[in-house]
Amino acid sequence: DDWNRMINARQFGGIRGDLNGVMNDLRPAPGAKRQATFIPPDTLDATDVVDRFATITFGDTAVEFHHGRGETDDHLWSWFPEKKWVATGDFVIWNFPNAGNPQKVQRWPIEWAEALRAIIAKGPELLLPAHGLPIAGKERIARVLDEIASALEYLVSSTVEMMNAGENLNTIIHSVKIPDATLGKPYLRPLYDEPEFVVRNIWRQFGGWWDGAPSRLKPSTDESVGSEVARLAGGAEVLIARAKDLAASGDLRLACHLADFAGWAAPDDPDVHKGRAEIYETRRKSESSLMAKGIFKGAARESEEVIKAALGE
C-alpha cells in the first residue's frame, strides 16, 4: 500500500501547469494530509466475478461483460446489445494506450488490440470510454478503434521483429517509432503513456527484465559508477557543468545521464544537485507524457531535498 501511494504520487505529481488543464496534478495540495490508504475505504467490494464472459441483467437491460487483458489482467468491456452501446473502460482513454507504464505491473498490448477488434466486430453505435468524450456513429467508432489497435500491433510486430534479429533493448527503443501524424490524433496523443514505454513492456513480456547490456546483468552500485566516472572526468563539478552544456544544446537524454553520475558521486553537494534539479526540471517541461513528467519531476525533487538539507531547512 505504501509503495502504491509513493509511485502514484510520483506518477501524477509532475504535471501541474504543463498540460493546460487536460490533466490535474493529483498529489495532495500543499499542507493537506496524504491519503491514508491507496484504495479509499468506502470503495465498494466486488459482488460478481467474471471469467471470460458473463451476462447480467439490470432491470430490463441485459449487459454483456467481456474479459480482455489490457491495462490490467482483469480488464472488462461491457456491451449493451439492445442499444448497441459499448462501455470500453480503459481500453479507450482519449490518449495513447496506457500499455507501457514504467512503474506498474505488466500491461498487455497484444490482448489490448484484440479486445478493440472484438469491440469493432460488435458494430457499436455509441462508445462510452473510461476517460474523455463518448463517440457516436458506427463508422467513426470503428475507425478510432482500428487506429488504436493498429498502433499497438505495429509496436508489437516491430519490437518482436528486432528482438528476433538479435537487437538489444536500447537499440529497439531508439528505432521503433509511431509517426508524428498518428500521435497527433486526439485519441492517440502521448499525454499519459507513450510508445517508447510500450516498447519496453513488450520487451519485458517476451525478453525478461535484462536489457541486453552485460554490465547491467549484475551491475555495480550507482554510487560506485558515478564516483568512478567523476574521477575520470576530473570531479562531479566537471560532470554537472558538462551536463548543463548538453541540456542547453538540447541533448537532454545525455545530460540526464551525466547529471545522475554527478549526483551519485556527490550525494550531499548542493551545487551539484542544484544543477541536477535544473536539468531534470527542464527535462520535465520538454516531455509530453504524464509518466515521464512525473518521474523527471521526482528526480528534481530528490536534488531539491539535498539542497534544503545543506541549508538546514
For the stretch 233-273, pLDDT in tens is 999 999 999 999 999 999 999 999 999 999 999 999 999 99
For the stretch 118-135, pLDDT in tens is 999 999 999 999 999 999
Average pLDDT value over all residues in the chain: 92
Mean pLDDT of 285-300: 94
Q: Which CATH number is 215-310 given?
A: 1.25.40.880
Q: Among 46-55, 99-108, 209-218, where is mean pLDDT lowest? A: 46-55
The pLDDT value given to residue 22: 45
On the question of a common fold for 59-207 and 215-310, the answer reads no
Q: Could you tell me which residues come within 8 angstroms of residue 103 by beta carbon, excluding any fewer than 6 positions away?
A: 7, 10, 11, 291, 295
Q: How many residues does the chain have?
A: 313
**What is this structure's pTM?**
0.89
Q: Which CATH number is 59-207 given?
A: 3.60.15.30
Provide the grid cell at 66: 467481456
The pLDDT value given to residue 10: 79
> Rounded CA gap, 76 and 70, in Å?
9
For the stretch 90-103, pLDDT in tens is 999 999 999 999 99
More confident residue, 205 or 17: 205
Q: Structural domain boundaries of the chain?
A: 59-207, 215-310
Position 36 pLDDT exceeds 70: no
